[in-house]
Each structure stands twice: as structure tokens, then as C-alpha cells.
Amino acid sequence: MMKVTTILITAACLAGSFSLYADAVSDQEEAASSTGAYSVAGALRLPENVTKRDVYGMNVGWKLFKGEKAPEEAASPDVDDSSWESVNLPNGIELLPEEASGCSNYQGPVWYRKTFIPPSRLEGRRNTLYFEGIMGKSEVWVNGEKAAEHFGGYLPVIVNLDKWLKPGQKNVIAVKADNSNDASYPPGKPQEGLDFSYFGGIYRDVYLISTGPVHITDPNEAGTVAGGGSFFPDGIS
């Protein structure tokens, strides 16, 4: 009985030390990762001795521009977005009454921009942006370079940041989303004829996911049948 008690106490102490370690790291990196105390989804960074996969919440601190008259080169890191609306994600562009139909929701382009400084520890790792959903046609720029394009609002948009992310420096993510009528993606029907409306914009959560070089791919990112699974880079056997 004493052996069992000793084991339980030791396990509890180790669990507590892991938790304290995670809390300390989270406190240090919260500002840089934009997790924030009031994030809709937040993020949980697990202790490093448990996993090599870090997840940072990216919901807080975006700028929004709605309409056709967005500034020229809105994707550029140097554009002044200080006058844009400040929003947190998820963001459905507008508030609509419960009984709203497709005749009343906004249709057209919107721009989102986020300026942030990722932790220096992300250098040399595999880093991706994971958008759970962007309604309509979307384009994603990282530090002024077009990184991804996606059609449809019901599958995630995954952006490999390896070419563009600058850990420890200022980075700018720009997203253009357009929920105009388009038969090439669901629901496909003209919205004016629908007896319901659906959200536009970045209407689901966003994360920055950082892994080691050996990682499990997401089938949506692979874009091929049975494309997910364990991935080993060249030189690792």
C-alpha cells in the first residue's frame, strides 16, 4: 500500500511540475503569440517533454476592411491599416437577425490583416497557419507574398509558412475573402434565392501550428487522396 501511495504522490508532483513549466512558458510567449486573455478559443501549449508540437492561438488582434475600395496593395506589409476596424476571430463580417435570408447578408470582398511577432524558438521548425474556415474564395499573403488560394468555406485553409515566416521579427498576414455568388463552390446557388444566410469572412478559429521536421501531415494540406500520414524529410531514416 505504501508503494502505491508513493507512486501516486510522485506522479502528482511530476504532473504539477509539468503544468508549472507550461504555465511559465505560456506567460512568456503570450504577447508574441497573440493568444491573449480574451481569445475566443485560446491556445494550450503542452510541455516540451510531452510533445514537440506547439499550437498558438491567432484569433486576437486583426484589422478588417469591408468593401470594394480597399487600399491598393492591401496585402503589402507597409500598408497603413490603423483606420481599419479592429476585430477578433471568428468574425462573420456582420451581425444578422436570426430569421435573415440570403437577400440581406453582405456579399463581396473583405480584407483581414494581422501584425505579430512569432517567438524566436520557431526558427528552423515547420510552421503552418491553420484556418478552420474562410467563407468563399480566399487568398492569403505572408509578408507581402501570396502563399495560398482556396475555393469554398467548409474545409480548412492550411498555409505552410516555411518560405516567409520571420521568427522574432514583425510579420504581417493578409487575407482576402470574397463570398460573392459563385457556382464553383458550395452552396453554389445564388444567395438571393436562399431562405437562409451564411457567414462570410474568417468565421472560424485560426492557429499557428509549429512542429519538428518529422510530423504527421494533414490530408487537407496534402490535397491528395490518402495524402495524410507520417512525413519524414530527406536525410532521416
pLDDT of 168 over the 80 cut: yes
pTM for the whole structure: 0.74
C-alpha 147/C-alpha 140 separation (Å) is 6
What is the residue whose three cell numbers read 485560446? Answer: 42
> How sure is the predictor about 36, in pLDDT bands with cuts at 50, 70 and 90?
very low
pLDDT of 23 over the 60 cut: no
The answer to whether 86 and 40 have CB atoms below 8 angstroms apart is no
> How sure is the predictor about 225, in pLDDT bands with cuts at 50, 70 and 90?
low
The answer to whether 61 and 38 have CB atoms below 8 angstroms apart is no
| Chain segment 117-159, per-residue pLDDT in tens | 999 999 999 999 999 999 999 999 999 999 999 998 889 999 9
Give the full edge-to-edge strand order of the sheet including 54-57: 54-57, 206-211, 126-131, 157-160
- Confidence at residue 14, expressed as pLDDT on a 0 to 100 scale: 38
C-alpha 210/C-alpha 52 separation (Å) is 8
